[in-house]
């Protein structure tokens, strides 16, 4: 190719490139504009109204229509968290509490939050109803204690609330230090005590018995606040009943004079419930 042909080829190529740039201007900015999102999530509105006949029970109702996921943060309440649009929670003790609602927006703009304060004027009245009577030994001052059952399936573990396919304990399949633990409930002041004879089995350290001293604490028994409307026993944070890595919020599956079956989530050492994993635990009256 001679010198003139080379120059002609270069000029032609340059002309085509310039034309291409002129013909498709601003392509990238237009796509960015089409993909842009509103970066400010809306504030989720909600109401918190006490029941007329029981002001310790609060009806929560979210009106965040453009949200695909809700989370209530309810310190001091039972339950302490909820994902329902409408829920009823219990505040057993008088005090001032914060209710926080987090709502993730369907438009992808993020999670909005709203916080309100509610005042509970008095402690929830206590009465020795039939269920508390079964749990606490007829509400007598000495209370009532429960121990792990030795039957097959006293401990079941599975991925979801109704699936316990991961593990089923055999007859007498637990450690001796688990069978001598007594979990005691006293009606007066709603006291819970883990009487473990000085040792508890640590599931985060190879299921070894370790020295542990559990102070007395409190519990609540609420009707209809659990999964599928089941009753719940709620212990204080980091307390447990049966196995250490079971959450402190327990759905009551069966409660009789001699037998108690509960379900609770698996949890981390810091008390945070895991996203997957449930226990079903069976106890006998001591």
Question: Angle 33-38-40 (CA atoms, 0-180°, nearest 5)?
Answer: 155
Portion of the chain with pLDDT greater than 90, in percent: 62
Are 120 and 110 in contact, with CB atoms under 8 Å apart?
A: no
Cα 88 off chain centre by: 16
Q: What is the CATH topology of the domain spanning 46-120? A: Immunoglobulin-like (2.60.40)
- CA nearest 220: which of 240, 246, 190? 190
pLDDT tens track for 6-56: 444 434 444 443 333 333 344 333 333 333 334 567 789 999 999 988 899
- CA nearest 232: which of 105, 44, 119, 87? 87
Q: How confident is the model at residue 66 (pLDDT cuts 50, 70, 90)?
A: low
Q: What is the CATH topology of the domain spanning 130-285? A: Lipocalin (2.40.128)
Contacts of 157 (CB under 8 A, 6+ apart): 164, 166, 167, 266, 277, 278, 279
pLDDT tens track for 180-213: 999 999 999 899 999 999 999 999 999 999 999 9
Ordered by start, the domain boundaries in the chain are 46-120, 130-285
| Residue 53: how many other CB atoms lie within 10 Å | 6
Ranking 26-30, 137-141, 237-241 by mean pLDDT, the lowest is: 26-30
pLDDT value for 49: 96
Distance from the first to the final alpha carbon of the chain:
103
Q: How confident is the model at residue 237 (pLDDT cuts 50, 70, 90)?
A: confident
Per residue, the 3-state secondary structure of 210-246, as one string, reads EECCCCCEEEEEECCCCHHHCCEEEECCCCCCCCCCE
């Amino acid at each position: 190719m001679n010198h003139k042909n080379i120059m002609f080829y270069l000029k032609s190529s340059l002309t085509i490139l310039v034309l291409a740039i002129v013909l498709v201007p601003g392509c990238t900015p237009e796509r960015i504009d089409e993909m842009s999102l509103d970066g400010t999530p809306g504030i989720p509105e909600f109401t918190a109204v006490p029941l007329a006949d029981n002001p310790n029970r609060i009806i929560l109702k979210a009106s965040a229509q453009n949200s695909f996921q809700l989370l209530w943060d309810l310190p001091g309440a039972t339950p302490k968290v909820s994902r329902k649009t409408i829920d009823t929670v219990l505040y057993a003790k008088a005090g001032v509490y914060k209710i926080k609602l987090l709502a993730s927006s369907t438009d992808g703009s993020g999670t909005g939050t709203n916080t309100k304060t509610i005042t509970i004027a008095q402690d929830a009245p206590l009465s020795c109803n039939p269920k508390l009577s079964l749990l606490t030994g007829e509400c007598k001052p000495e209370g009532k204690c429960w121990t792990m059952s030795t039957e097959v399936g006293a401990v079941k573990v599975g991925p979801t609330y109704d699936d316990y396919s991961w593990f089923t304990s055999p007859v007498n399949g637990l450690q001796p230090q688990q069978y001598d633990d007594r979990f005691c409930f006293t009606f007066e002041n709603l006291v819970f005590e883990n009487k473990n004879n000085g040792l508890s089995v640590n599931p985060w350290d190879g299921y070894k018995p370790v020295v542990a001293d559990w102070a007395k604490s409190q519990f609540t028994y609420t009707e209809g606040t659990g999964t599928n409307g089941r009753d719940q026993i709620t212990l204080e944070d980091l307390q447990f009943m049966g196995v250490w890595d079971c959450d402190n919020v327990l759905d009551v599956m069966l409660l009789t004079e001699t037998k108690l079956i509960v379900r609770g989530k698996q949890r981390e050492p810091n008390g945070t419930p895991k996203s997957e994993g449930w226990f079903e635990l069976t106890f006998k009256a001591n």
